[in-house]
Chains A and B, each alone.
Chain A
């Protein structure tokens, strides 16, 4: 196995092996996979030459169908064909009920917080549906590239909340993909554009997809993409345009919106076709097959379409204004407006965006592919295939994060548009004498009242020693990582008694549920869970060995003395031996941990040396001599 191919420690490391990586745009309507080959990022077609994969999964008694065939079956088999998993992922049962009225599925309320859809192949969660799409795209990439993927970048709407992000990552785990990073869709688009143009300055990305809307303002400077502000709506997109047009069609044909599911589906299909045709034509003929027999004929003009969708387009323009204000810029400062997402093909949308920004938006890159291409470029960099590349993406958290305080009010701990990763702490106290526990309710949103924000998680801190009211000091720390995922910790300070809790979102799957799903899929494939774990640990060991060998080849001479070098080499050799011969996942895992402990000093030294080098040439020395004392 590949584990044996590493260089002997102490010798020069083997030339860097190119790691296979891919970018996946997991869309509401369509999904794509792209990869960088010979320096060029391109989306990958299936065997029939089709690049886009409809994000539709059909469950039949015989198995699972994904993509075009499932999409075609949707109107004939609406209950078993899931076409909007992205609208449901990371949502609670109550949320889904409010969206669910428009969706034809049969929801099952179980004991879990995660909604399930009843299908012929059993009850499925939106996470599992998304995993099926990811499996197909991951498989397509592996087949095209001819090897296992080392990792992927999956894009999500910038405005996705914590639960939606966590659920997307869970789906990747179920699909057996290693996620390097969740990347915000508008940022991915900026990468695709920015690298093409090398244009420093402030840019706006307007991203209107099938089911989600995002807008981001970024500053590009020497390969660094700094997101200044982002905003959007995770339940607004071209599907809503279709629904508005379909409603009009039904009304014109004297049918109610309470028509049967088949008719509704038919009206939506007609609406979409008419909307798309109006990008070129000024008026189109429309017709509806009536359930009582016969056909209704009519005409839809561009003006009428604009009238029908304007309320929706106006919502996106209002959001753009807020984001421009949050970014602290004016429209004059913005050099380009980039259009992303299939729904930006609509002329009315382009018109309104041009009006707001005072310039024609850019539509050079296929708006359907640009996100996947950006994701592929980022995946290539993250895989370490371009060590000299300067590209770096600095993104923000889209929504404010806070906790509930007395009276149902929200106390914001991390405001929206804060650059991630970030950690912020705030102290709270008890309000009753002898209070021994405190409930922490984590919320996300901009409103004052907790009831108007999204509930992310609840947990309790126990074991607070008895004190008078107001004496305890409970420090709540929020940390958001580079994927935009939140971790919350609470600790009582005065007594030294501490308790901390890792938060899982209220609407997420539990670890047990995911393990259960993984187990089920493995049983199905006739493999053993233990074998899978051993393989995973060995892959991880290989990652650690490669990374350390590369580091040693690079700077060991500079940073380690002979004795230290010998120690690190010996530690590395121990892991190599265990990874080669061990048949126990636990042993390999322990050996990785041991190596990490043994080399901790070296890893730290490298990072500090990196910082020193980055600041070299500045006034560091000058500073330490002249100004060092003022800091005491």
Chain B
């Protein structure tokens, strides 16, 4: 097998950690694909082609994971074996806020100006996601057991927020296409 026992950070020659420079990541991604991509082996033997396909697939997977803060956090937790049995999210205030946001999303269609209500909602969600990402940076920086457990909770919050954002964006697409 291809020596891809490396973790995604090692593959990209980056230190294992939460902060990632996106421009640097993108540039390393392109350099890696220039080496492993199947187009580099189009005239080679079947074996090289197979290997290259596996390599390029893994590089794509790694890039997809590292450039997304939520996936990157989940991957870091898995690397540090903090998956375990998922504890349920224990933050009543956050859950209450989520319910309110969902209600706001449901109300968009019947609002006087749906586009503006939706814009406001999307902006609020974006701010909350930024806050969670900042939290994750602090928690991973610390790296202690307690902080990693807290990071696992932050990841759950991110999942809520990302799902909400996806639904809000789907609604935005629907509204635009109805124009």
Contacts and interface: CB of A to CB of B under 8 A. Distances in A.
A631 interface: yes
A563 interface: no
Interface string A320-344: 0110010000000000000000000
B52 interface: yes
Contacts of A321: 176-177
Nearest to A596: B47
A547 B13 contact: no
A181 B53 contact: no
A607 B36 CA distance: 7
A325 B13 contact: no
Nearest to A394: B33
Nearest to B32: A614
Contacts of A562: none
Nearest to B59: A611
Interface in B25-50: 26, 28, 30-40, 42-48
B16 interface: yes
Nearest to B56: A421
A390 B34 contact: yes
A544 interface: yes
A180 interface: yes
B43 A382 contact: yes
Contacts of A614: 28, 31-32, 34-35
A599 B44 CA distance: 13
B43 A543 contact: yes
Interface stretch (B1-9, B88-96, B108-116, B122-130): B1-9
A600 B53 CA distance: 15
B51 to A, nearest CB: 6
A150 interface: yes
Nearest to A179: B42
A405 interface: no
A322 B38 contact: no
A543 to B, nearest CB: 7
Best-surrounded residue of A322, A394, A479, A481 (most CB of chain B within 10 A): A394
B136 to A, nearest CB: 16
A205 B45 CA distance: 34
Contacts of B176: 321, 325
Contacts of B52: 607
Contacts, number: 147
A615 B48 contact: no
Contacts of A434: none
Nearest to A611: B35
Contact count band on A: 35 or more
B14 interface: yes
A607 B51 contact: yes
Interface in B122-176: 143, 169, 172-173, 176
Nearest to A221: B30
B55 interface: yes
Given A321-B177, A619-B15, A596 B38 contact: no
B39 A392 contact: yes
Contacts of B177: 318, 321-322
Interface stretch (A254-262, A300-308, A578-586, A620-628): A620-628
B37 A482 contact: yes
A624 B1 CA distance: 22
B95 to A, nearest CB: 27
B37 to A, nearest CB: 6
Nearest to A599: B47
A381 B1 CA distance: 27
Given A419-B60, A631-B7, A619 B14 contact: yes
A613 B32 CA distance: 9
B39 A543 contact: no
B51 A603 contact: yes
Given A544-B45, A603-B47, A631-B9, A181 B32 contact: no
A277 B14 CA distance: 59
A19 B79 contact: no
B68 interface: no
A626 B15 contact: yes
B38 A604 contact: no
Contacts of B7: 631
A180 B177 CA distance: 38
Contacts of B172: 325
B10 interface: yes
Given A150-B43, A482-B56, A627 B17 contact: yes
A250 B80 CA distance: 72
Contacts of A365: none
A326 B152 CA distance: 29
A136 interface: no
Interface in A311-325: 318, 321-322, 325
B61 A423 contact: yes
B57 interface: yes
Residue with the greatest number of chain A CB neighbours at <10 A, chosen from B13, B15, B53, B63? B13
B13 A422 contact: no
A223 to B, nearest CB: 8
B16 A547 contact: no
Contacts of B14: 619, 623
Contacts of A224: 30, 33-34
Nearest to B35: A610
A393 interface: yes
Contact of A600 (B36, B47, B173): B47
A263 to B, nearest CB: 38
A630 interface: yes
A615 B12 contact: yes
A322 B37 CA distance: 29
Contacts of A418: 60, 64
A529 interface: no
Given A383-B43, A547-B45, A548-B45, A631 B16 contact: yes
A547 B48 contact: yes
Interface in A191-226: 221-222, 224, 226
Nearest to B48: A603
B45 A596 contact: yes
A219 to B, nearest CB: 9
A479 B60 CA distance: 12
A364 to B, nearest CB: 26
Given A418-B60, A599-B47, 6 more contacts: A221-B26, A382-B42, A392-B33, A422-B61, A615-B31, A630-B80
25 contacts: A180-B43, A325-B169, A382-B43, A383-B42, A392-B34, A392-B37, A392-B39, A392-B40, A421-B57, A422-B57, A422-B60, A423-B61, A481-B38, A547-B43, A596-B47, A604-B2, A607-B36, A608-B2, A614-B28, A615-B32, A619-B13, A622-B15, A627-B15, A627-B17, A630-B80
Interface of A: 19, 150-151, 180-181, 221-222, 224, 226, 318, 321-322, 325, 378, 381-384, 390, 392-394, 418-423, 479, 481-482, 540, 543-544, 547-548, 592, 596, 599-600, 603-604, 607-608, 610-611, 613-615, 618-620, 622-624, 626-627, 630-631
